[in-house]
Amino acid sequence: MYTVLLVDDEEDILNSLMNIIDWPVYGIENILTAHNGSDALKKLEQQPVNLLITDISMPDMDGITLLKEVRGKYPHIRCIILSSYSDFSYAKEAISLGVENYLLKPIQKDELDNSIRKSLDNLSMHKHIMKTLFLDNILYRWVTNDISSEELSGHSRHINVNIYFRNYCVVLIRSTRQSPLDKLLTNYLSHLQTSYEAYYFVDYRGYHVVILGGHTITQNCVYNHFLSAIDESAYTNDFHAAIGIIATGNEQVGLSYQSATDTLLLCHNLTGQHILLAEKRDTIDIGDYQLNQITNYLQSSLDSFSKSSTDALLQELFPGLVDYPLQEINSFFNMLSIRLFRLLISMGLIDSTAEENIIINSYHFEEHPTQETLHICFNELLSINLILIKKNLNRLSPICLLAMQYVSANFTEHVSIKEFCSKNNMNASYFGFLFKKETSIYFNDYISQIRVNHAMMLLKNTNHKISQISTMCGFANTSYFILTFKKKTGVSPANFRQSIIEKELNYE
């Protein structure tokens, strides 16, 4: 329901406006009136208004001045101007202030009716767009672990998203041709909604993302719904889809999204229609700790890379790899290549435009590999990434390389873009732009990533308290450390440490 504010210094005109329009037809239940701009502003301060219809020529404060005030304080209000002046300069200024229409007195009822209808249609469309953008933003932050449980809980009530299901599953879909997926998506969502609640948005890569919620979800059921939708829509063009692992509770939705993303990368060079099910592999762990140890090794081995050192690293991080089944070893190397590649890009060590197919899906053993074969494969994987790192570093400007060295040497202390630029006589705004342009990440995010990497090493290899590790890694306080760590890794520092302990006990 809407509220309209009518503004005119002539009482007869106000009465006429109130009576000639069938306001309830437009969903307008509340009609306010004012006799000049100052009076109108007071009314706007007291009650929200959706539509403003105002005269131009009024004492105390005219309509143009009122419009300027409204645009500054209440930009969402739709405005219609009524005027006895046909002077183009008035109309031009009113148009520049974003009015819906400029109507000349005496007012024609049909003309005013059309203007009101158009104004409220535009308002409704604007509300829908803003609501959609807000919903998409919340859903994207949810699947990428970029929102706190408190904020998610607060917003979920307003966007009608149920975050209290036992299970969730994320499905990613992309067209491999420039053809619309509208009919297929409509049918698929219709099928899914017979069994689950489904929330849909499109992420920054153009992937169609569906978050499913329910008390019992299975990948096979989600898959069968997809087959039914394909049959109904008779969709013949190429597409790839990945059905993520089943998440338990809303805090694990990010794991389902990540698994679907990893799986979708594995079919980048396939043609035709493919629906892949992400696999949950708990036996061969590729955790943040292992990935960051490899990253640290690559950074420290730019000039001293050797097969013997990579052999030792493989043995340390993934002991007993040769004893796993062939299928799991193949899956392991493909997942390792994807996740390492993504981490190196997020840290600015590899150019974000690097081709994924250089290193993704390159590993497939026909027969069970020997220990030596595994070492050779691991060495090749690291060699390719090292080449990409060197290529990227050669592309970076000397000042960005210096900034990376500065962070590596000082991250345990207070480091900031302002301090670095002050020491090197640079403008902080310009340097921030340059660093983001060359590395694809913000300078402060780079600092956070380096600190989190070091924190993971301390959590695994020391018995220091969380608060001590926070200080040792340069975080301002423990609360901020925990928030940043969870945002980067998906788990809290305490849960990360516990998972390391449990895995070591299971291995023993």
- Look at 392 and 399; give whichever has higher pLDDT: 399
Q: Is the pLDDT of residue 425 over 80?
A: yes
Which pLDDT value is given to residue 377?
86
Domain boundary among 277, 307, 340: 277
Please tell me the predicted confidence (pLDDT) of residue 269: 53
Give the separation between CA 115 and CA 490, rounded to whole angstroms: 51
Same domain, 434 and 386: no
Of the given ranges (196-200, 205-209, 244-248, 349-353), which has the lowest mean pLDDT? 349-353
Asked if 166 and 238 sit in the same domain, the reply is: yes
Residue 149: what residue type?
S
Percent of the chain with pLDDT over 70: 88
Q: How far apart are CA 268 and CA 264, in angstroms?
A: 7
Distance of CA 174 to the CA centre of its chain: 17
- Find out whether 172 and 256 touch, Cβ atoms under 8 Å: no
Tell whether 144 is covered by a domain: no
DSSP state of 170: E
Contact 57, 29 (CB under 8 A): no
Q: Three-state SS across 283-317?
A: CCCCCHHHHHHHHHHHHHCCCCCCHHHHHHHHHHH
Number of domains in the chain: 4
- Cβ pair 12, 35 in contact under 8 A: no
**Gyration radius from the chain CA atoms:** 30
Question: CA–CA separation, 226 vs 262, rounded Å?
Answer: 20
- The verdict on residue 292 lying in a domain is yes
Domain CATH for 454: 1.10.10.60
Averaged pLDDT of the chain: 82
Higher pLDDT, 282 or 63: 63
First to last CA, the chain: 66
Do 389 and 421 lie in one domain? The reply is no
- Mean pLDDT computed over 340-366: 68
Instruction: Report how far residue 426's alpha carbon sits from residue 435's, in angstroms, rounded to the nearest whole number.
Output: 12
pLDDT at 353: 62
Local structure of 8: helix, strand or coil: coil
pLDDT of amino acid 181: 78
The pLDDT, as a whole number, for residue 59 is: 83
**What per-residue confidence (pLDDT) applies to 213?**
92
Q: Say whether both 443 and 414 belong to one domain.
A: yes
Q: What is the pLDDT of residue 366?
A: 80
| Residue 378 or 501, more confident | 378
Which residue from 355, 376, 304, 362 is spatially nearest to 330, judged by alpha carbons?
362
The answer to whether residue 154 sits within a structural domain is: no
- The structure tokens listed for 145 are 């672990």
Q: Is residue 415 assigned to a domain?
A: yes
Residue 212 is predicted with a pLDDT of 93
174 and 102 within one domain = no
Question: Considering 127, 144, 170, which residue would you say is the last residue of a domain?
Answer: 127
The predicted pLDDT at position 130 comes to: 59
Please state, as a whole number, how many other Cβ atoms lie within 10 Å of the Cβ of residue 243. Answer: 29
Same domain, yes or no, for 386 and 402?
A: no
- Is a pLDDT exceeding 70 seen at residue 277? yes
Q: What pLDDT sits at residue 6? A: 93
Of 143-147, 230-234, 256-260, 269-273, least confident by mean pLDDT is 269-273
Inside any domain, residue 199 = yes
CA 367 to chain centre: 40
Residues 117 and 179 in one domain: no
State mean pLDDT over 259-272: 72
For residue 463, the enclosing domain spans: 398-507
Residue 390 predicted with pLDDT over 70: yes
Give the pLDDT confidence score for residue 356 in this predicted structure: 54
Helix (H) or strand (E) holding 273: strand 273-277
Q: Tell me the CATH number at 16.
A: 3.40.50.2300
Backbone region of residue 361 per phi and psi (left: phi > 0; alpha: psi in -120 to 50; beta: other values)? left
Is position 373 within any domain? yes
CATH number for position 171: 3.30.70.600
- The mean pLDDT of 461-482, rounded to a whole number, is 89
Q: Does residue 64 fall inside a structural domain?
A: yes
Considering the domain architecture, whether residues 303 and 340 belong to the same structural domain is answered as yes
* 360 and 261 in a common domain: no
Same domain, 260 and 352: no
Q: What is the mean pLDDT of residues 411-418?
A: 86
Domain boundary among 395, 429, 449: 395
Describe the strand order of the beta sheet including 2-7 as a list of residue ranges.
28-34, 2-7, 51-55, 78-83, 101-104
Residue 136 is assigned to a structural domain of this protein: no
Amino acid at 122: N
pLDDT tens sequence across 146-164: 888 888 888 888 788 899 9
**Least trusted range by pLDDT, from 46-60, 61-75, 94-108:** 94-108
54 and 92: one domain? yes
CB 417 within 8 A of CB 410: no
Range 229-249 average pLDDT: 84
Convert the pLDDT of each residue in 4-38 to its tens digit: 999 998 888 888 888 888 888 888 888 999 988 88
- Is 369 found in the same domain as 263? no
